[in-house]
Every structure is written in C-alpha cells, then in structure tokens.
Amino acid sequence: MDLVTWDKSYSVSVECCDAEHRKLFFLLNALHEAMKAGHSRAILAGTVHDLEKYTETHFRAEEALMQRAQYPKLPEHRLEHQKFVAQVKQFRHDLETGGTCDPNAVVMFVGDWLAKHIMQTDKMYSNHLNSHGIN
C-alpha cells in the first residue's frame, strides 16, 4: 500500500504544481517500497537522489511562478525549500557513506514535510497566483 496518496485535498489550484506534487508522492512511495523491500543503503541513496533531483526541479518551477506573480511571501517560501533540500542531501550523503541515519526515519521525514508544506505553505499562494492568471 502507498505511504501517501494524492487527493483533491492536496490541490493548490495550480495545475502544473498539482501534477508535480503527484509525482513527488509517486517518488516518495517508490522510496518507501524500496525500503520495505530491504534494499541496501546504496540503492536507497539512489532512490533518495531521484527524489532530491525532482524536488529541486519542482521547487525551481514553483518559485518561478511565484516570482512571475510577484508573490510577497516568496522569500520565506524559498527558504523552506532550501532547508528541505539541504536536509535531504544530508540524508543521502549519510546513506551513501555508511552513516547512521535510519532509512525509515528519512521516509517519514520526507512524507511529513511534503504533506505539511503543500497543505500549509504551498496552499497559501493559491489565491495570489490564481488572481494573476496562473491556474
């Protein structure tokens, strides 16, 4: 069973962001599956890397939309993105180098962060972006 399932309650009212969030959930579920299957830390690190790369792609696209709409909360939103990417990179580095981080804790952290960030921080831009013709 999937760890997280995207449904309408996650919608931020901007079609491309919703599509990217769905893909992030898909990658997170793939990581969760790989972990449950007992894959090595090296393989998990590769899966975390996929998630990290796509997260960066999504954040860039999302920030560009906020910039285009001159969204006033962009600086703090970007900071949240940057902190998350730094944390995920650290987890990946730890997995790659035989550190002590627990893969299950990584999956839980990423899942909680994504759900909370979409529900609280991303949803805050919906009205502003929609009112600037970004849907």
Residues within the interface to Fe ion (CB under 5 A): 62, 122
CB of 132 to Fe ion, least distance (A): 17
Closest to Fe ion by CB, 94 vs 122, is 122
CB of 40 to Fe ion, least distance (A): 30
Q: Which residue is nearest to Fe ion (CB)?
A: 122
Closest to Fe ion by CB, 52 vs 62, is 62
CB of 27 to Fe ion, least distance (A): 13
CA separation for the pair 54, 66 (Å, rounded): 18
Distances (CA, A) of 102 to 44, 48, 108: 11, 13, 10
Closest to Fe ion by CB, 28 vs 95, is 28
83 in the Ramachandran plot: left (φ > 0), alpha (ψ -120 to 50) or beta? alpha
Q: Nearest Cα to 28, choosing from 10, 11, 6, 9?
A: 6
